[in-house]
Each structure stands twice: as structure tokens, then as C-alpha cells.
Amino acid sequence: MIYAIGEILIDFIAKEEGKLKDVREFEKHPGGAPANVVVDLRRLGAKSALISKVGDDPFGEFLIEELKKERVETKYIIKDTNKHTGIVFVQLVGAKPEFILYDGVAYFNIRKEEMQWDFMKDAELLHFGSVLFAREPSRSAVFEVLREIKGKIPISYDVNIRLDLWKGREEEMLKDIEEALKLADIVKIGDGELEYLNKNGIALEDFNFALVAITKGAEGSTIIHEDIRVDVPSFKVEPVDTTGAGDAFMAALLASLFYMGKLDMLEFSKEELKELGSFANLVAALSTTKRGAWSVPSLEEVLKYRKFSFLP
């Protein structure tokens, strides 16, 4: 079972062009980067579970129901009687999303004493992102989990920087990212985020990762394992909505490791890195052809476009 810890929320995606202040209609979609990853994993055939928190409200009920429809394990999702379920308003500009993300919501209120720690019994990997670091008590809860499991199961980290959550606190954000990088075995980062970290004195070369994936949008991705580095071209599609494309890439990368039997990431050939990079690029590309973050096709649909040697 692959677990993710982090936010789950409602994406209200604008149905019309223009500035958000002028939009009159929105579509409701489930979202949140870690939630996207576990749903995408399930669609690609890997068992998954989410550790998170929603409000004890209709939106929280909706999100749990949607996860159950996707066959994602939901027993580790806490209902908060004091905070509402998180929401985000999204405007697509040329298929790229612009966000207004709301604060003071349930997923920022995860407390370590509320969590069920028995997930470690069957966890093969734990995935996390940066969003929960922006607020306490979720920040402390996530770091507590990461430190507890470090060295026991593999940890994957999507750096996914959200600067609007850290206004005036960028130095604090960078310290948390640096600490998170020390705990991660797998890191996925966008080229823009990589440039931002480099400008602020954080270099990935200073850490000891088993696997690094750098996503570059239409330019594809770069996969790095020890001294092996491969550049993998993208698949060309006509994008409709790129919301969640990075999460689709992340899920496909983890699914590749699952199918290869290499979640331990001890050894890879150059060809294996190319294969898992190609699979992740294809899944991410296909996810952009539909609206909403939960737009990854099933494994059977992916295989109509190309066969991969590590897949059954």
C-alpha cells in the first residue's frame, strides 16, 4: 500500500474565461495534491490510502465519497468539527491554472495525537508535499511522521511550492523545504521550483536522494539516479486543463517503481529510468486533456498509447 499525507480539498474551476472577479459559474471538482496522487495511483492499479483531514460538513462528505468511488482507503481521514473543508477557486488561463487558496481549513489542523499510526504496518512508501508546512499544527504533525518512518519505509516528496501561503515568511518556508529534503528518498520538482531553490542557496546535489525527477512541462522530464541522468521527451497533446498534471506525473513515477518491484530504489539501468520517465510523462500528458485534477485515465487506457516492459 502506498500512502500520502496532506491536503484534500474542493477545486472550484471557472467555467468561463476572464478574471476571477468577473466569473459567475464554477465547476466543483475534488483536488489537493496528495489526494490527486493517491487517486491517480489507484487508477494505475496500485493500492493507495490518504492521511488527511476534512471538515464535518457536506464538502467533506463529498470528498470521502469520491475517494471511496476511486477505491482509495479513507480510514485515515479525520473529520474536523471546528474547521471547514478546504476550498480553492481556479481560473484556467491558456489551460494553466491560477489559484485562490483559502486558509484556516481542516487540512491545516491535523494533529499528531489524532492520527492512527497503524498505517506503518502495511505502508510500502509514504508520499508528501510542502503545503501542510505552511501552518501549524499540521506542519509539526507531518514532520513527526516523517522523522518516525525515516529509514523504515521509502519517502517521496513533491516540493510543490505555494508562495501565496508564505507571504512574508519565505525564509521559514525555505528552512522547512530544506528539512524535508533531508528526509526524502525520492524528490519530484518542477524546473521553475528548482530554479527558485537554487537562487536561494538550496542545491539538490547537497542531498542524498535515491531518485530525482525534474519536470519541465512541454520539454519533458529529467530522471536522476546516482550518476545516471536521462532526459525524457514529452508526449504531445492538446491540453485543456493542466491542473494536477504534476501529481499525475508523481503518481505514475511511483506506480512505475511499484510495478518494477523497485520501491527500494537500490539499482536502476539507464533504460529502466527512461521507461519510468516515459510512463510518467505520458500519464501526465493524458491527464491534461480533461478538466479537473482527477483526470488520469485507467492503466488500460494508457496502454492504448504505448506498451511498457515493466507493466503486466
Domain that holds residue 19: 2-297
**What CA–CA distance (Å, rounded) separates 41 from 192?**
25
Ramachandran category for residue 60: left, alpha or beta (phi over 0 → left; psi -120 to 50 → alpha): alpha
Percent of the chain with pLDDT over 90: 82
In this structure, what are the phi and psi dihedrals at residue 240, rounded to the nearest 5 degrees? Answer: -105, -40
Q: How many CA atoms lie within 13 A of 2 on its CB side?
A: 31
pLDDT band at 156 (very low <50, low <70, confident <90, very high): very high
* 309 within domain boundaries: no
Full DSSP string of 103-126? -S-GGGG--GGGS-GGGGGT-SEE
* 27 within domain boundaries: yes
* 16 within domain boundaries: yes
Given a cut of 90, is residue 129 above it in pLDDT?
Answer: yes
**What CA–CA distance (Å, rounded) separates 47 from 298?**
14
Number of domains in the chain: 1
Q: Which of 30-34, 265-269, 272-276 has the weakest average pLDDT?
A: 265-269
Given a cut of 90, is residue 120 above it in pLDDT?
Answer: no
**What CA–CA distance (Å, rounded) separates 277 from 221?**
7
Given a cut of 90, is residue 300 above it in pLDDT?
Answer: yes
| CATH number (domain holding residue 85) | 3.40.1190.20
Kindly state the average pLDDT of the residues 200-205: 97
End-to-end CA distance of the chain: 18
pLDDT score, position 95: 65
* 306 within domain boundaries: no
Over residues 9-49, the pLDDT tens digits come to 999 999 888 888 889 999 999 999 999 999 999 999 999 99
Over residues 47-103, the pLDDT tens digits come to 999 999 999 999 999 999 999 999 999 999 999 999 999 999 988 777 677 888 889
Cell of 302: 494508457
Kindly state the average pLDDT of the residues 191-213: 97
